[in-house]
Amino acid sequence: MADIEQMVAKGAYARHLGVQLLEHAPGYAKGKLELKPYLMNSLGIAHGGAIFSLADCIFAIASNSHEGSALGINVNIAYFKALREGTLYAEAKEVSLTSKLAHYLVHITNEKGEQIALFSGTVYRKV
């Protein structure tokens, strides 16, 4: 299993955004992002890029929790609900794992547990 704490410590982009890792296990990760003014779009709602970035950071942790390294080769996100304030939560769960590929779903919710977005990602695994 990868050294997740070291990976998080080196993650300058996630740190810059304010992404916080809450928990992790093999094939799983959960994190959060408190919405700040610089993460909002011109309509005053959470910027899609901020939501995507949170999901992608948590996806990276879950997918790199096994031996070797994993690099995203295909990702997709669907947005369901706008958020004007509060905290976003992302929970990544492994759906499929083979010697070369793995697939993950990342549910993005608000503090009430309401679904904000759904991220789907596939990684190429180098073991």
Q: Are 19 and 89 a contacting pair, CB within 8 Å? A: no
Considering only residues 98 and 4, tell me which one the structure prediction assigns the higher pLDDT: 98
User: Which pLDDT does position 115 carry in this prediction?
Assistant: 99
H/E run at residue 7: helix 4-10
How big is the CA angle at 92 (ends 45 and 41), to the nearest 5 degrees? 15
CATH number at residue 107: 3.10.129.10
The number of folded domains in the chain is 1
The alpha carbon of 92 is separated from its chain's Cα centroid by a whole number of angstroms, namely 7
pTM above 0.85, yes or no: yes
The domain in which residue 104 lies consists of: 4-126
Contacts of 121 (CB under 8 A, 6+ apart): 56, 59, 63, 72, 74, 75, 76, 103, 104, 106
pLDDT tens readout for residues 18-28: 999 999 999 99
Measured from the Cβ of residue 53, the count of other Cβ atoms closer than 10 Å reads: 19
What would the pLDDT profile of 36-77 be if each residue is shown by its tens digit? Answer: 999 999 999 999 999 999 999 999 999 999 999 999 999 999
Task: For CA atoms 7, 8, 9, 11, give the dihedral sign.
Answer: positive
